[in-house]
Protein backbone atom coordinates (compact mmCIF):
# COMPACT_ATOMS: atom_id res chain seq x y z
CA UNK A 1 0.00 0.00 0.00
CA UNK A 2 1.42 3.42 -0.95
CA UNK A 3 2.30 5.98 1.71
CA UNK A 4 -0.45 8.30 0.44
CA UNK A 5 -3.13 5.59 0.58
CA UNK A 6 -1.91 4.48 3.97
CA UNK A 7 -2.12 8.05 5.22
CA UNK A 8 -5.67 8.43 3.86
CA UNK A 9 -6.64 5.12 5.45
CA UNK A 10 -5.48 6.19 8.90
CA UNK A 11 -6.91 9.69 8.49
CA UNK A 12 -10.28 8.33 7.43
CA UNK A 13 -10.23 5.92 10.31
CA UNK A 14 -9.40 8.73 12.73
CA UNK A 15 -12.29 10.94 11.61
CA UNK A 16 -14.67 7.99 11.53
CA UNK A 17 -13.75 7.38 15.15
CA UNK A 18 -14.21 11.08 15.87
CA UNK A 19 -17.70 10.95 14.36
CA UNK A 20 -18.47 7.79 16.30
CA UNK A 21 -17.25 9.38 19.51
CA UNK A 22 -19.30 12.50 18.79
CA UNK A 23 -16.17 14.57 19.46
CA UNK A 24 -16.44 17.05 16.59
CA UNK A 25 -17.47 20.50 17.75
CA UNK A 26 -19.37 21.75 14.75
CA UNK A 27 -20.65 18.82 12.64
CA UNK A 28 -23.29 16.17 13.24
CA UNK A 29 -24.20 13.56 10.61
CA UNK A 30 -22.12 15.27 7.93
CA UNK A 31 -23.92 18.60 8.52
CA UNK A 32 -22.92 21.69 10.48
CA UNK A 33 -24.91 22.08 13.68
CA UNK A 34 -26.59 25.23 14.95
CA UNK A 35 -23.53 26.04 17.08
CA UNK A 36 -21.43 26.34 13.92
CA UNK A 37 -23.73 29.01 12.51
CA UNK A 38 -23.84 30.76 15.86
CA UNK A 39 -20.03 30.76 16.01
CA UNK A 40 -19.77 32.32 12.55
CA UNK A 41 -22.35 34.94 13.57
CA UNK A 42 -20.22 35.77 16.61
CA UNK A 43 -17.12 36.15 14.44
CA UNK A 44 -19.03 38.28 11.93
CA UNK A 45 -20.15 40.44 14.87
CA UNK A 46 -16.62 40.80 16.31
CA UNK A 47 -16.72 44.56 15.71
CA UNK A 48 -19.11 44.92 18.66
CA UNK A 49 -16.17 43.90 20.86
CA UNK A 50 -13.81 46.24 19.07
CA UNK A 51 -12.26 43.38 17.07
CA UNK A 52 -12.01 42.91 13.30
CA UNK A 53 -14.15 40.16 11.66
CA UNK A 54 -11.54 40.02 8.87
CA UNK A 55 -8.95 38.75 11.33
CA UNK A 56 -11.00 35.59 11.87
CA UNK A 57 -12.06 34.99 8.27
CA UNK A 58 -15.72 35.40 9.24
CA UNK A 59 -16.96 36.06 5.68
CA UNK A 60 -15.23 33.02 4.16
CA UNK A 61 -16.40 30.75 6.98
CA UNK A 62 -19.96 31.98 6.54
CA UNK A 63 -19.87 31.28 2.82
CA UNK A 64 -18.47 27.80 3.43
CA UNK A 65 -21.23 26.96 5.89
CA UNK A 66 -23.92 28.23 3.54
CA UNK A 67 -22.47 26.06 0.76
CA UNK A 68 -22.68 23.05 3.06
CA UNK A 69 -26.46 23.34 3.14
CA UNK A 70 -26.89 21.66 -0.27
CA UNK A 71 -28.52 18.24 -0.77
CA UNK A 72 -25.21 16.44 -1.28
CA UNK A 73 -23.25 15.15 1.69
CA UNK A 74 -19.97 16.98 2.24
CA UNK A 75 -16.74 15.13 1.47
CA UNK A 76 -14.82 14.14 4.58
CA UNK A 77 -11.91 16.40 3.65
CA UNK A 78 -14.20 19.45 3.45
CA UNK A 79 -15.71 18.66 6.86
CA UNK A 80 -12.26 18.27 8.34
CA UNK A 81 -11.10 21.59 6.92
CA UNK A 82 -14.21 23.47 8.09
CA UNK A 83 -14.01 21.90 11.54
CA UNK A 84 -10.38 22.94 11.89
CA UNK A 85 -10.78 26.45 10.43
CA UNK A 86 -13.80 27.32 12.55
CA UNK A 87 -12.20 25.95 15.73
CA UNK A 88 -8.97 27.86 15.09
CA UNK A 89 -10.90 31.06 14.36
CA UNK A 90 -12.95 30.80 17.54
CA UNK A 91 -9.91 29.96 19.68
CA UNK A 92 -8.10 33.00 18.26
CA UNK A 93 -11.20 35.13 18.89
CA UNK A 94 -11.47 34.05 22.53
CA UNK A 95 -7.72 34.54 23.03
CA UNK A 96 -7.84 38.06 21.58
CA UNK A 97 -10.98 38.94 23.53
CA UNK A 98 -9.52 37.82 26.84
CA UNK A 99 -5.78 38.53 26.62
CA UNK A 100 -5.68 41.16 23.88
CA UNK A 101 -4.33 41.07 20.35
CA UNK A 102 -0.80 42.27 21.09
CA UNK A 103 1.77 42.08 23.85
CA UNK A 104 1.59 45.51 25.54
CA UNK A 105 5.35 45.46 26.00
CA UNK A 106 5.60 46.04 22.24
CA UNK A 107 4.41 49.59 22.89
CA UNK A 108 6.25 50.20 26.19
CA UNK A 109 3.33 49.33 28.46
CA UNK A 110 5.15 47.03 30.84
CA UNK A 111 2.40 45.33 32.78
CA UNK A 112 2.89 42.01 34.53
CA UNK A 113 1.86 39.26 32.06
CA UNK A 114 -1.16 37.20 33.19
CA UNK A 115 -0.65 33.65 34.38
CA UNK A 116 -0.77 31.41 31.28
CA UNK A 117 -3.17 28.94 32.91
CA UNK A 118 -5.65 31.59 34.02
CA UNK A 119 -7.76 31.16 30.89
CA UNK A 120 -7.56 28.43 28.22
CA UNK A 121 -9.38 29.55 25.04
CA UNK A 122 -9.79 26.03 23.64
CA UNK A 123 -11.22 24.60 26.86
CA UNK A 124 -13.49 27.62 27.17
CA UNK A 125 -14.74 27.07 23.61
CA UNK A 126 -15.30 23.33 23.99
CA UNK A 127 -17.27 23.78 27.19
CA UNK A 128 -19.39 26.55 25.65
CA UNK A 129 -20.29 24.43 22.60
CA UNK A 130 -21.09 21.38 24.69
CA UNK A 131 -23.33 23.44 26.98
CA UNK A 132 -24.84 25.37 24.04
CA UNK A 133 -23.98 28.76 25.54
CA UNK A 134 -21.60 30.39 23.09
CA UNK A 135 -23.01 33.89 23.52
CA UNK A 136 -22.63 33.72 27.29
CA UNK A 137 -19.06 32.46 26.81
CA UNK A 138 -18.24 35.61 24.83
CA UNK A 139 -19.27 37.84 27.74
CA UNK A 140 -17.35 35.65 30.19
CA UNK A 141 -14.15 35.84 28.12
CA UNK A 142 -14.34 39.63 27.79
CA UNK A 143 -12.74 41.87 30.47
CA UNK A 144 -14.87 42.07 33.59
CA UNK A 145 -13.88 45.68 34.28
CA UNK A 146 -17.16 47.68 34.46
CA UNK A 147 -15.73 50.26 32.06
CA UNK A 148 -15.45 47.62 29.33
CA UNK A 149 -19.21 47.07 29.17
CA UNK A 150 -19.81 50.81 29.08
CA UNK A 151 -17.29 51.18 26.27
CA UNK A 152 -19.06 48.43 24.34
CA UNK A 153 -22.26 50.50 24.55
CA UNK A 154 -20.42 53.69 23.58
CA UNK A 155 -18.96 51.85 20.58
CA UNK A 156 -22.46 51.05 19.34
CA UNK A 157 -23.49 54.68 19.81
CA UNK A 158 -20.56 56.16 17.87
CA UNK A 159 -20.61 53.50 15.17
CA UNK A 160 -24.28 54.25 14.53
CA UNK A 161 -23.39 57.92 14.28
CA UNK A 162 -20.52 57.17 11.87
CA UNK A 163 -22.82 55.09 9.68
CA UNK A 164 -25.87 57.37 9.86
CA UNK A 165 -26.53 58.69 6.31
CA UNK A 166 -27.50 62.13 7.65
CA UNK A 167 -25.34 62.79 10.70
CA UNK A 168 -22.17 61.34 9.15
CA UNK A 169 -22.38 64.04 6.45
CA UNK A 170 -21.80 66.70 9.10
CA UNK A 171 -18.10 65.82 9.14
CA UNK A 172 -17.65 65.58 5.37
CA UNK A 173 -16.47 69.20 5.16
CA UNK A 174 -14.20 71.10 7.54
CA UNK A 175 -15.36 73.93 9.77
CA UNK A 176 -14.42 77.39 8.47
CA UNK A 177 -11.36 78.95 10.14
CA UNK A 178 -12.09 80.75 13.39
CA UNK A 179 -12.03 84.57 13.26
CA UNK A 180 -8.79 85.77 14.92
CA UNK A 181 -8.00 82.18 15.91
CA UNK A 182 -10.78 81.88 18.51
CA UNK A 183 -14.47 82.58 19.01
CA UNK A 184 -15.67 84.49 22.07
CA UNK A 185 -19.20 84.52 23.45
CA UNK A 186 -21.40 86.99 21.54
CA UNK A 187 -19.38 86.88 18.32
CA UNK A 188 -20.68 85.67 14.96
CA UNK A 189 -19.18 82.79 13.01
CA UNK A 190 -20.14 81.43 9.59
CA UNK A 191 -19.54 77.86 10.79
CA UNK A 192 -21.83 78.12 13.82
CA UNK A 193 -24.81 76.30 12.22
CA UNK A 194 -22.53 73.35 11.45
CA UNK A 195 -21.11 73.45 14.99
CA UNK A 196 -24.66 73.36 16.39
CA UNK A 197 -25.59 70.39 14.21
CA UNK A 198 -22.46 68.48 15.34
CA UNK A 199 -23.22 69.21 18.99
CA UNK A 200 -26.79 67.96 18.49
CA UNK A 201 -25.51 64.78 16.86
CA UNK A 202 -23.08 64.23 19.75
CA UNK A 203 -25.74 64.85 22.39
CA UNK A 204 -24.28 68.09 23.76
CA UNK A 205 -27.23 70.16 22.54
CA UNK A 206 -30.96 69.31 22.33
CA UNK A 207 -32.43 68.70 18.89
CA UNK A 208 -34.66 71.78 19.10
CA UNK A 209 -31.67 74.17 19.31
CA UNK A 210 -32.14 77.05 16.85
CA UNK A 211 -29.59 77.44 14.04
CA UNK A 212 -27.77 80.78 14.20
CA UNK A 213 -24.43 82.31 13.30
CA UNK A 214 -24.21 84.08 16.64
CA UNK A 215 -22.41 82.31 19.47
CA UNK A 216 -24.64 82.81 22.51
CA UNK A 217 -27.26 81.32 24.82
CA UNK A 218 -27.68 77.54 24.98
CA UNK A 219 -24.95 77.04 22.40
CA UNK A 220 -22.37 78.29 24.91
CA UNK A 221 -23.54 75.70 27.47
CA UNK A 222 -23.37 73.02 24.76
CA UNK A 223 -19.77 73.98 23.99
CA UNK A 224 -18.87 73.95 27.68
CA UNK A 225 -20.37 70.46 28.08
CA UNK A 226 -18.42 69.39 25.01
CA UNK A 227 -15.22 70.83 26.50
CA UNK A 228 -15.74 68.94 29.77
CA UNK A 229 -16.26 65.69 27.84
CA UNK A 230 -13.03 66.23 25.91
CA UNK A 231 -10.72 67.10 28.79
CA UNK A 232 -10.62 70.82 27.94
CA UNK A 233 -10.95 73.91 30.08
CA UNK A 234 -14.72 74.62 30.12
CA UNK A 235 -14.31 78.36 29.51
CA UNK A 236 -16.88 78.57 26.71
CA UNK A 237 -14.31 79.98 24.30
CA UNK A 238 -13.91 78.06 21.03
CA UNK A 239 -10.16 78.14 20.69
CA UNK A 240 -7.62 76.00 18.86
CA UNK A 241 -8.07 72.90 21.04
CA UNK A 242 -11.88 72.98 21.06
CA UNK A 243 -11.89 73.60 17.30
CA UNK A 244 -9.65 70.54 16.78
CA UNK A 245 -11.88 68.29 18.91
CA UNK A 246 -14.99 69.46 17.03
CA UNK A 247 -13.29 68.25 13.87
CA UNK A 248 -12.75 64.64 15.03
CA UNK A 249 -15.14 62.41 13.08
CA UNK A 250 -17.39 59.77 14.68
CA UNK A 251 -15.35 57.09 12.92
CA UNK A 252 -12.25 58.52 14.60
CA UNK A 253 -14.00 58.18 17.95
CA UNK A 254 -14.98 54.60 17.07
CA UNK A 255 -11.31 53.76 16.66
CA UNK A 256 -10.41 55.52 19.91
CA UNK A 257 -13.00 53.43 21.77
CA UNK A 258 -11.70 50.23 20.13
CA UNK A 259 -8.18 51.06 21.32
CA UNK A 260 -9.44 51.63 24.86
CA UNK A 261 -11.26 48.28 24.83
CA UNK A 262 -8.05 46.57 23.71
CA UNK A 263 -6.11 48.16 26.57
CA UNK A 264 -8.59 46.89 29.14
CA UNK A 265 -7.79 43.34 28.02
CA UNK A 266 -4.24 43.53 29.33
CA UNK A 267 -4.24 46.34 31.89
CA UNK A 268 -4.29 44.54 35.29
CA UNK A 269 -7.09 46.53 36.91
CA UNK A 270 -8.78 43.63 38.73
CA UNK A 271 -5.85 41.49 39.80
CA UNK A 272 -6.04 42.27 43.53
CA UNK A 273 -8.82 42.92 46.06
CA UNK A 274 -7.60 46.48 46.73
CA UNK A 275 -5.96 48.62 44.09
CA UNK A 276 -4.78 52.09 43.13
CA UNK A 277 -5.01 53.03 39.46
CA UNK A 278 -3.75 56.20 37.81
CA UNK A 279 -5.17 56.96 34.37
CA UNK A 280 -2.43 59.02 32.75
CA UNK A 281 -4.43 60.78 29.96
CA UNK A 282 -7.19 61.72 32.41
CA UNK A 283 -4.73 62.89 35.13
CA UNK A 284 -6.86 61.09 37.73
CA UNK A 285 -6.21 58.49 40.48
CA UNK A 286 -8.83 56.07 41.73
CA UNK A 287 -8.46 53.84 44.79
CA UNK A 288 -10.94 51.01 44.91
CA UNK A 289 -11.87 47.67 46.41
CA UNK A 290 -13.31 44.63 44.65
CA UNK A 291 -16.02 42.89 46.66
CA UNK A 292 -18.07 40.01 45.23
CA UNK A 293 -16.94 40.98 41.75
CA UNK A 294 -18.09 44.59 42.18
CA UNK A 295 -15.70 47.53 41.97
CA UNK A 296 -16.26 50.03 44.78
CA UNK A 297 -14.33 53.28 44.36
CA UNK A 298 -13.21 54.59 47.75
CA UNK A 299 -11.48 57.80 46.70
CA UNK A 300 -10.79 59.77 43.53
CA UNK A 301 -8.36 62.65 43.09
CA UNK A 302 -6.52 64.71 40.52
CA UNK A 303 -2.86 64.00 39.90
CA UNK A 304 0.10 65.63 38.19
CA UNK A 305 1.98 63.32 35.82
CA UNK A 306 5.23 63.35 33.86
CA UNK A 307 5.69 65.89 31.10
CA UNK A 308 4.74 64.62 27.64
CA UNK A 309 7.68 66.51 26.20
CA UNK A 310 10.61 64.81 27.90
CA UNK A 311 9.80 63.14 31.27
CA UNK A 312 6.86 60.84 30.64
CA UNK A 313 5.53 58.69 33.44
CA UNK A 314 6.14 55.03 32.46
CA UNK A 315 3.22 52.60 32.25
CA UNK A 316 3.51 49.53 34.49
CA UNK A 317 2.11 47.89 37.62
CA UNK A 318 3.77 47.29 40.97
CA UNK A 319 3.21 46.66 44.67
CA UNK A 320 3.14 49.55 47.14
CA UNK A 321 5.22 48.36 50.07
CA UNK A 322 5.87 51.42 52.23
CA UNK A 323 5.00 55.01 53.04
CA UNK A 324 7.58 57.63 53.96
CA UNK A 325 6.30 60.47 56.13
CA UNK A 326 8.13 63.83 56.05
CA UNK A 327 10.40 62.44 53.34
CA UNK A 328 13.78 63.59 52.15
CA UNK A 329 13.96 64.36 48.45
CA UNK A 330 17.02 62.68 47.02
CA UNK A 331 17.47 64.78 43.89
CA UNK A 332 17.99 62.55 40.82
CA UNK A 333 21.32 63.15 39.12
CA UNK A 334 19.67 64.35 35.90
CA UNK A 335 17.67 67.01 37.80
CA UNK A 336 20.68 67.99 39.91
CA UNK A 337 22.74 68.58 36.77
CA UNK A 338 20.09 70.33 34.69
CA UNK A 339 18.21 72.35 37.32
CA UNK A 340 19.36 72.41 40.94
CA UNK A 341 23.11 72.99 40.56
CA UNK A 342 22.65 75.73 37.91
CA UNK A 343 20.16 77.52 40.21
CA UNK A 344 22.62 77.32 43.11
CA UNK A 345 25.41 78.71 40.94
CA UNK A 346 23.22 81.65 39.93
CA UNK A 347 22.02 82.24 43.51
CA UNK A 348 23.95 80.45 46.30
CA UNK A 349 21.27 81.43 48.85
CA UNK A 350 18.87 79.08 47.00
CA UNK A 351 20.74 76.17 48.63
CA UNK A 352 19.82 77.36 52.15
CA UNK A 353 16.33 78.67 51.34
CA UNK A 354 15.25 75.35 49.86
CA UNK A 355 16.72 73.27 52.70
CA UNK A 356 19.27 71.37 50.60
CA UNK A 357 22.24 69.43 51.93
CA UNK A 358 24.96 67.32 50.37
CA UNK A 359 25.59 63.64 51.08
CA UNK A 360 29.13 62.33 50.51
CA UNK A 361 29.89 58.82 49.30
CA UNK A 362 30.64 57.75 52.89
CA UNK A 363 27.28 59.12 54.12
CA UNK A 364 28.69 62.31 55.64
CA UNK A 365 26.16 65.20 55.61
CA UNK A 366 27.50 68.55 54.38
CA UNK A 367 25.47 71.73 54.85
CA UNK A 368 27.97 74.23 53.45
CA UNK A 369 28.74 74.99 49.82
CA UNK A 370 31.93 74.77 47.80
CA UNK A 371 32.63 74.61 44.09
CA UNK A 372 34.42 71.29 44.55
CA UNK A 373 31.34 69.77 46.18
CA UNK A 374 29.04 71.07 43.44
CA UNK A 375 31.34 69.55 40.84
CA UNK A 376 31.22 66.29 42.77
CA UNK A 377 27.42 66.42 42.60
CA UNK A 378 27.49 66.98 38.83
CA UNK A 379 29.91 64.09 38.35
CA UNK A 380 27.78 61.76 40.46
CA UNK A 381 30.34 61.40 43.24
CA UNK A 382 28.12 63.18 45.74
CA UNK A 383 24.35 63.46 46.24
CA UNK A 384 22.20 66.46 46.93
CA UNK A 385 19.00 66.08 48.90
CA UNK A 386 16.28 68.30 50.35
CA UNK A 387 15.40 68.04 54.02
CA UNK A 388 11.80 67.48 55.17
CA UNK A 389 9.81 70.67 55.49
CA UNK A 390 7.27 72.94 53.82
CA UNK A 391 9.50 73.55 50.78
CA UNK A 392 10.28 69.88 50.14
CA UNK A 393 9.43 68.97 46.52
CA UNK A 394 7.80 65.71 47.67
CA UNK A 395 5.52 67.47 50.11
CA UNK A 396 5.04 65.67 53.39
CA UNK A 397 4.38 62.10 52.27
CA UNK A 398 5.69 59.62 49.72
CA UNK A 399 4.06 56.33 48.63
CA UNK A 400 6.66 53.80 47.51
CA UNK A 401 6.22 50.88 45.11
CA UNK A 402 9.75 49.74 44.11
CA UNK A 403 10.43 49.80 40.36
CA UNK A 404 13.35 50.23 37.98
CA UNK A 405 12.30 53.77 37.03
CA UNK A 406 12.19 55.06 40.65
CA UNK A 407 8.61 56.26 40.18
CA UNK A 408 6.46 56.91 43.25
CA UNK A 409 3.40 58.86 44.40
CA UNK A 410 3.85 61.93 46.57
CA UNK A 411 2.34 65.20 47.70
CA UNK A 412 3.64 68.62 46.61
CA UNK A 413 3.89 72.14 48.04
CA UNK A 414 2.75 73.57 44.67
CA UNK A 415 -0.90 72.60 45.16
CA UNK A 416 -2.18 75.34 42.83
CA UNK A 417 -1.04 73.25 39.86
CA UNK A 418 -3.93 70.83 40.46
CA UNK A 419 -6.28 73.56 39.19
CA UNK A 420 -4.81 73.31 35.71
CA UNK A 421 -6.78 71.29 33.17
CA UNK A 422 -3.69 69.71 31.67
CA UNK A 423 -1.30 68.52 34.35
CA UNK A 424 1.67 66.77 32.72
CA UNK A 425 4.11 68.90 34.70
CA UNK A 426 6.34 66.56 36.70
CA UNK A 427 9.67 64.85 36.08
CA UNK A 428 7.90 61.47 35.91
CA UNK A 429 6.71 60.80 39.44
CA UNK A 430 3.04 61.35 40.29
CA UNK A 431 1.87 64.12 42.60
CA UNK A 432 -1.44 63.46 44.36
CA UNK A 433 -4.01 66.09 45.30
CA UNK A 434 -5.32 64.43 48.48
CA UNK A 435 -2.43 62.63 50.21
CA UNK A 436 -4.34 62.17 53.47
CA UNK A 437 -7.27 60.54 51.66
CA UNK A 438 -4.88 58.21 49.84
CA UNK A 439 -3.02 57.33 53.05
CA UNK A 440 -6.33 56.56 54.78
CA UNK A 441 -7.21 54.16 51.96
CA UNK A 442 -3.81 52.49 52.05
CA UNK A 443 -3.90 52.08 55.84
CA UNK A 444 -7.63 51.56 56.35
CA UNK A 445 -7.17 48.02 57.71
CA UNK A 446 -4.48 49.16 60.17
CA UNK A 447 -6.37 50.44 63.23
CA UNK A 448 -3.27 52.11 64.62
CA UNK A 449 -3.11 54.54 61.70
CA UNK A 450 -6.16 56.79 61.75
CA UNK A 451 -6.33 60.22 60.13
CA UNK A 452 -4.98 62.06 63.18
CA UNK A 453 -1.83 59.95 63.39
CA UNK A 454 -1.32 60.19 59.62
CA UNK A 455 -1.41 64.00 59.82
CA UNK A 456 0.95 64.04 62.80
CA UNK A 457 3.51 61.92 60.97
CA UNK A 458 3.22 64.09 57.85
CA UNK A 459 3.89 67.28 59.82
CA UNK A 460 6.56 65.89 62.15
CA UNK A 461 9.48 67.17 60.10
CA UNK A 462 11.36 63.95 60.85
CA UNK A 463 11.55 61.34 58.13
CA UNK A 464 10.04 57.97 59.08
CA UNK A 465 9.24 54.98 56.89
CA UNK A 466 6.29 52.68 57.52
CA UNK A 467 6.35 49.25 55.88
CA UNK A 468 2.84 48.16 54.90
CA UNK A 469 1.42 45.03 56.44
CA UNK A 470 -0.70 44.60 53.30
CA UNK A 471 1.19 45.61 50.12
CA UNK A 472 -1.13 47.25 47.63
CA UNK A 473 -1.35 46.85 43.85
CA UNK A 474 -0.66 50.04 41.86
CA UNK A 475 -1.36 50.37 38.13
CA UNK A 476 -0.19 53.28 35.98
CA UNK A 477 -2.66 52.89 33.14
CA UNK A 478 -3.41 54.68 29.86
CA UNK A 479 -6.96 55.05 28.65
CA UNK A 480 -8.14 57.95 26.49
CA UNK A 481 -11.85 57.10 26.77
CA UNK A 482 -13.98 56.96 29.90
CA UNK A 483 -17.74 56.61 30.35
CA UNK A 484 -19.02 58.64 33.29
CA UNK A 485 -22.34 58.67 35.13
CA UNK A 486 -25.35 58.94 32.86
CA UNK A 487 -23.47 57.22 30.05
CA UNK A 488 -21.64 60.39 29.01
CA UNK A 489 -18.56 59.48 26.99
CA UNK A 490 -15.38 61.44 27.77
CA UNK A 491 -12.38 61.58 25.45
CA UNK A 492 -8.89 62.62 26.55
CA UNK A 493 -5.89 63.72 24.56
CA UNK A 494 -3.37 61.06 23.54
CA UNK A 495 -0.66 63.07 25.29
CA UNK A 496 2.05 60.39 25.10
CA UNK A 497 1.12 59.14 21.61
CA UNK A 498 0.32 55.67 22.97
CA UNK A 499 -2.92 55.39 21.00
CA UNK A 500 -0.99 55.96 17.78
CA UNK A 501 1.47 53.20 18.69
CA UNK A 502 -1.33 50.80 19.59
CA UNK A 503 -3.27 51.59 16.42
CA UNK A 504 -0.26 50.73 14.24
CA UNK A 505 0.42 47.53 16.20
CA UNK A 506 -3.19 46.36 15.87
CA UNK A 507 -3.32 47.06 12.14
CA UNK A 508 -0.18 44.96 11.69
CA UNK A 509 -1.78 42.21 13.78
CA UNK A 510 -4.84 42.09 11.51
CA UNK A 511 -2.74 42.13 8.34
CA UNK A 512 -0.42 39.31 9.42
CA UNK A 513 -3.31 37.08 10.51
CA UNK A 514 -5.01 37.05 7.12
Region label for 461, one of left (φ > 0), alpha (ψ between -120 and 50) or beta (otherwise): left
- Predicted confidence at residue 22, as pLDDT, reads 55
Under DSSP, the state recorded for 114 is P
Neighbours of 273 (CB within 10 A): 12
Instruction: List, as own/partner pairs, every contact residues 12-18 make where C-beta atoms lie below 8 angstroms and the sequence separation is at least 24, other chains included.
Output: 12/76, 15/76, 15/79, 15/80
Q: pTM of the entire structure? A: 0.91
Distance CA 364, CA 350 (A): 21
Are 318 and 403 in contact by the 8 Å Cβ rule? The answer is yes
CB burial string 26-58: b at 16+ within 10 A, e below: bbeeeebbebbbbbbebbeebbebbbbbbbbbb
Residue 138 is inside which H or E element, if any? Answer: helix 134-141
Greatest Cα-to-Cα distance within the chain, rounded to the nearest angstrom = 97
Are 410 and 463 in contact by the 8 Å Cβ rule? The answer is no
- Predicted confidence at residue 459, as pLDDT, reads 94
CA distances from 464 to 138, 326, 347, 397, 456 (A): 50, 7, 31, 10, 12
The span from the first CA to the last CA of the chain, in angstroms, equals 38
Q: Please identify every stretch of the chain with a pLDDT value under 70, giving residue numbers as ranges.
A: 1-22, 116-117, 514
CB burial string 388-425: b at 16+ within 10 A, e below: beeebbbbbbbbbbebeeebbbbbbeeeeebeeeebbb
Neighbours of 387 (CB within 10 A): 18
Q: Specify the pairing of strand 464-477 against strand 315-325.
A: antiparallel
Amino acid sequence: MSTLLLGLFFLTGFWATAFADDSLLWFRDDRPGSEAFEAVAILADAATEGLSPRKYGAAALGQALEASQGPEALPLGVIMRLEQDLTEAMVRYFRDLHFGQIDPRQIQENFTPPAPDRFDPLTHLQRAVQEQRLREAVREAAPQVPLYGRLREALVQYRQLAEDPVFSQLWQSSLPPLPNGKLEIGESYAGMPLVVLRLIALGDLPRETVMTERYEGHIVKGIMDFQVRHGLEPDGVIGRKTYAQLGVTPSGRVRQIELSMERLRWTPLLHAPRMIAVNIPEHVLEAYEIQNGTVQVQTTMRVIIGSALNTRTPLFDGRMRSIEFSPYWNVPLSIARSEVVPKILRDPSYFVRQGFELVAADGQIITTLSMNDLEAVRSGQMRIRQRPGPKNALGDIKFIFPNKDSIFLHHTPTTHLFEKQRRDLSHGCIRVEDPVGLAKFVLQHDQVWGEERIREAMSAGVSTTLRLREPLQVVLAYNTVQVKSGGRVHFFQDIYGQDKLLDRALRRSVQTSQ
